[in-house]
Amino acid sequence: MTGLFESTPGNGAKATALARRGERLGLLLGLAGVAAFAVTLPATRLAVDEMPVWTVGFGRGALAGLAALVLLLALRAPRPRRSDLPALAATVLGVVFGFPLLTTWAMQSVPAAHGGVVIGVLPLATALAAALVAGERPSVRFWVTALLGSAAVVTFALLEAPAPTEGSAMVSGAGLSIGLTLGDLALLLAVVAAGLGYASGARLSRHLPGWAVICWALVLSLPVMLPAAAVSWAVAPPKAAGVGAWAGFFYVALVSQLAGFFVWYRGLALGGVARVGQVQLLQPFLTLIAAALLLAEPITPATLIFAVLVVGLVAIGRQQPVRRSAP
């Protein structure tokens, strides 16, 4: 039986054409996922401005998990294999608990536009996770481009950091004092968690539908999320929340935590975790637009300059070779 990866001339050309088509589709799906995730920080800021932070953090996971359970039952999704459980556990820790809870907490003190640019370091974390977890081998040129993109967003985060307040740390050097808040540190930890969750989920999406991967991850989190959400809502109910806060809550629960991953995981599986992950460099720019529209946060000339810079690096990075293992 001939297979996709056999080396006969006809099959080789066909495999190359299919791989390129898959990469293009993966990049488009990845961009759709990034567009959905770009609104996460502004939507979270809308919610936590009028709702208790842990009520939002645990409530979004519980609501997303219940919706995922309905989808799994209604669509009779395939069950993960026993060998999938470690990767599924990493997905749960990364994108169900780590990233959502840390970013929700950070949005109490960090402007959404600033937070969106800090999250711009996520492509580098995703590429590292792709090498460690998904078996991909990016080229040296790819790493150089990824490092340049990450350096750009970290530089912006340090230069534009809000003035330090109580509980903040000061980073000093070369005669320059820069405020690094606990919110910034929480966002950086969220980046590490998300990179791990993205790579693990994409690995599972090679043989499971992307929507099923995130749904199973959310359902597995329900034994923790539901009691935590119930306690949070009983202790600190969001009685005074307005329409905007509720809109932000439902967005982060049903889009950021659930629907956005449908296209994101499929895109990572088709186009490669490291390569499609670089599309996330566009997320800060999209977040800046969302923050300006939803929260009236100002966009400074520096934010525009750095956003344009990372857009250019995305175009360069997607041309660099990445060796992937055959599915």
Place of tokens 């599924």: 88
Which residue would you say has higher pLDDT here, 128 or 310?
128
Q: CB atoms < 10 A from the CB of 326, how many? A: 8
Is 171 inside a domain boundary? Answer: yes
pLDDT at 224: 94
- Could you report the per-residue pLDDT of 247-285, keeping only the tens digit for each? 999 999 999 999 999 999 999 888 888 888 888 878 877
Instruction: Flag whether 2 is in a domain.
Output: no
At residue 12, the pLDDT reads: 63
pLDDT of residue 18: 73
Domain limits for position 217? 26-320
- Determine, yes or no, domain membership for 96: yes
Q: What is the pLDDT averaged over residues 167-193?
A: 62
Q: What is the pLDDT of residue 254?
A: 96
Q: How far is CA 327 from the centre of its chain?
A: 23
Backbone φ and ψ for 207, nearest 5 degrees, come out as -130, 0
Chain-centre distance of CA 135, in angstroms?
20
pLDDT at residue 90, rounded to an integer: 93
pLDDT digits (tens, 9 = 90+) for 145-166: 888 877 877 677 667 655 544 4
Average pLDDT over residues 45-54: 88
| 106 falls within a domain | yes
Residue 43 lies in a domain: yes
pLDDT at 177 over 60: no
Res 258: pLDDT: 94
Q: What is the pLDDT of residues 95-149, one digit of tens each?
A: 999 988 888 788 777 776 667 666 767 888 888 888 877 678 888 888 888 888 7
Q: What is the DSSP string of 256-296?
A: IIIIHHHHHHHHHHHH-HHHHHGGGGGHHHHHHHHHHHHH-
What are the C-alpha distances in Å from 251 to residues 42, 117, 131, 187, 297?
Answer: 10, 20, 32, 19, 19
Contact status, residue 47 vs residue 252, Cβ threshold 8 Å: yes
Q: Is the pLDDT score of 51 beyond 60? A: yes
pLDDT at residue 5 greater than cutoff 50: no
Q: What b/e readout covers 79-89, taking b as 16+ CB neighbours within 10 angstroms?
A: ebeeebeebbe
| Domain count of the fold of the chain | 1
Tell me if 169 is assigned to some domain: yes
Q: What is the mean pLDDT of residues 11-16?
A: 66
Residue 74 contacts residue 162 (beta carbons within 8 Å): no
Tokens read off for 273? 């975790």
For 307-314, what is the mean pLDDT? 78
CA 10 from chain center: how many Å?
A: 38
Q: In terms of C-beta distances under 8 Å and separation of at least 24 residues, what long-range contacts does 75-83 make, across chains too?
A: 77/209, 77/211, 77/212, 77/215, 77/216, 78/208, 78/209, 78/212, 79/216, 80/204, 80/208, 80/216
**What's the pTM?**
0.78
Mean predicted confidence (pLDDT) in 317-322 = 70
pLDDT-above-70 percentage for the chain: 83
194 lies in a domain?
yes
Amino acid 323: pLDDT: 67
Q: What is the pLDDT of residues 282-304, one digit of tens each?
A: 887 788 788 788 877 777 787 77
On average, the pLDDT of the chain sits at: 81
Is 93's pLDDT higher than 80? yes
Q: Is the pLDDT of residue 67 over 60?
A: yes
Matching residue, tokens 């809502």: 233
One-letter amino acid of 169: A
Asked if the structure places residue 174 within a domain, the reply is: yes
Q: What is the pLDDT of residue 187?
A: 84
Q: Cα(78)–Cα(165) distance, rounded to whole angstroms? A: 50
Query: Which has the minimum average pLDDT: 23-27, 101-105, 319-323?
Result: 319-323
pLDDT score of 7: 43
**Which of 24-38, 143-157, 184-198 is predicted least confidently?**
143-157
